[in-house]
Amino acid sequence: MSLNMFIQNFINALGLGSLYGLIAIGYTMVYGILRLINFAHGDIFMLGAYFMFFATIRYKLPWAVGVLLAIAGSTICGLLVDRIAYRPLRSAPRISALISAIGVSFFLESLATVLFTGMPRAVLQPEWLMQPMLIRDGGIRLMPLGIMVPVISFILVGALLWVVHKTKPGLAMRSISFDIETTRLMGVSVDKIIALTFALGSALAALAGIMWALRYPRVEPFMGMFPGFKAFIAAVFGGIGSIPGAMIGGLTLGFVEIMSIAFFPTLSGYRDAFAFVLLIVILLVKPTGLMGEKLEEKI
């Protein structure tokens, strides 16, 4: 593989990996607090992409407005999911909430099929995102979108880390993930903080969905399924509960997927299987993930 090809693949992997990372953060935050795999998270990502599609392409709203509307819409959906499907099950066995999450995911996917039809729709990419810059005598094509995706992702992760570590609600979040009952006794409104967690995660998922739809220019009702599973795996890989871990897991997964196909093109049919193999390997070798703390088994 030539150096140009390698750099090109490196940039692609960085973009894909940071998108996985952004979705993974939503999983890791919710799992850290509620010990729940929020299966519906990938579908919030899908909704974000659809909202953006309808706002900017159907109704010709300006991009900034469309993106903001999409984020707001997805955040509301995320909050509704928590309120309707998860909050009644807070004191139930964990598996019940998990089945509810599966139901919600299935519901959002079928609802999207009914409302938006199952046909994939092409997303018209805006000109200014797609002007290719040629580097090294045209050996590498770099598009503004390709730079924007990782840059925006890293800025968002930085902002989120600041929220979690330097603000009061962030302190409450960390406290809940440590011990929910004691936090409640300290006068923290636990349900509000959990809602805030869902809102932050959904907003990030929506942004990831928007950037995903621009990168692979189409939207469809099941587009969130595989990125969702993979992002969860990224979160486990990085150590569930850890925000930097989710980002590192996402980037690792992005690099594994892009690079293994770049080096072994015959494997391209197995692309979606890599993540699951990675999951099983990490769970066997280091179940806590790269940056995770050991979750105490309560007897």
Partner 1 sequence: MNTKTRNLILNGLALAALVVFLYQAPGNLDRYKLRIINLIAINAILGLSLNLIYGMTGMFSLGHAGFMAIGAYVSALLILTAEQKTSMWILQPILPWLLNLHAPFVVSLIAAGLAAAFFGWLIALPVLRLGGDYLGIATLGFAEIIRILIVNLTPLTNGSLGLKGIPAHTDLWMSYGCLVAMLIFMTRLMSGNFGNVLRAVRDDEIAARTMGIDTFRTRVLAFTIGCFGGGVGGALMGNLITAIDPKMFMITQTYSLLMIVVVGGLGSITGSVIGAILVTTMLEWLRFVEEPITIGSLHISGIPGMRMVVFSMLLIAVIIFRREGIMGPREFSWSWFFPARKAEPEMKGGND
| Residues in region 90-129 near partner 1 by CB under 8 A | 92, 94-96, 98-100, 102-104, 106-107, 109-111, 113-114, 118
- Closest-CA residue to 25 (of 12, 15, 38): 38
Question: Cβ 229 to partner 1, closest distance in Å?
Answer: 7
Q: Is 80 in the site for partner 1 (CB under 8 A)?
A: no
Do 163 and 29 form a contact (C-beta atoms < 8 A)? no
Tokens (6 digits) for 273: 């299987």
CB 250 within 8 A of CB 228: no
Shortest Cβ distance from residue 101 to partner 1 (Å)? 9
| Minimum distance, C-beta of residue 269 to partner 1, in the bound complex (Å) | 4
Q: How far is the CB of 26 from partner 1 (least distance, A)?
A: 15
Could you tell me whether strands 121-122 and 140-142 are parallel, antiparallel, or unpaired per DSSP bridges?
A: unpaired
Using the rule CB under 8 A, which residue among 236, 246, 258, 291 binds partner 1?
A: 236
User: Under rule CB under 8 A, how many of the chain's residues touch partner 1?
Assistant: 43
Cβ pair 278, 234 in contact under 8 A: no
Contact pattern for partner 1 over residues 191 through 230, marking x by CB under 8 A: ----------------------------------x---x-
With respect to partner 1, which residue has the nearer C-beta, 35 or 218? 35
Note the residues at the interface with partner 1 (CB under 8 A). 35-37, 84-85, 88-89, 92, 94-96, 98-100, 102-104, 106-107, 109-111, 113-114, 118, 225, 229, 232-233, 236, 269-270, 272-273, 275-277, 279-280, 283-284, 287, 299
